[in-house]
Amino acid sequence: MQGRYMNMIYIDDDENARLTGVGAMMESDEDTTNAFKLVKASEVDIKDARFILDLHEDNGDIVDSIAIIALTFSKVSGEIVKPDAEYVDYDNKQNQKAA
């Protein structure tokens, strides 16, 4: 199944964007977009954010992004927030695979 999807990005202690492996894709583009819009009410200033929720087209292009705090990440994803080092390690491993 192809379509729009959401992807969570972690902002590490050095303010680098890190892959988390957390994302979602609903049954339709409309459902995915609507789910993304629900999170929009929780958007914070990027200076206060620990995560960014990206909405992507099926080709990978970013449609929109929302800066969110850790609590919103947990509420939206159902995941606990991991230590900084775990996100950095995951991101580095993903980048090594892509190289």
Tens-place pLDDT, residues 2-55: 899 999 999 999 999 999 999 999 999 999 999 999 999 999 999 999 999 999
**Strand pairing report for 17-24 and 51-56:** unpaired
Q: How confident is the model at residue 45, as a pLDDT?
A: 97
The answer on pLDDT for 99 being more than 80 is: no
Position 98 pLDDT exceeds 90? no
List beta partners, residue 65.
54
How far, CA to CA in Å, does 60 sit from each of 5, 26, 47, 50, 64? 9, 16, 25, 22, 12
Q: Which two tokens stand for residue 20?
A: 């988390």
Q: Within 10 Å of residue 6's Cβ, how many Cβ atoms?
A: 23
Taking only the tens place, the pLDDT of each residue in 53-67 is 999 999 999 999 999
Residue for token pair 């492996």 = 21
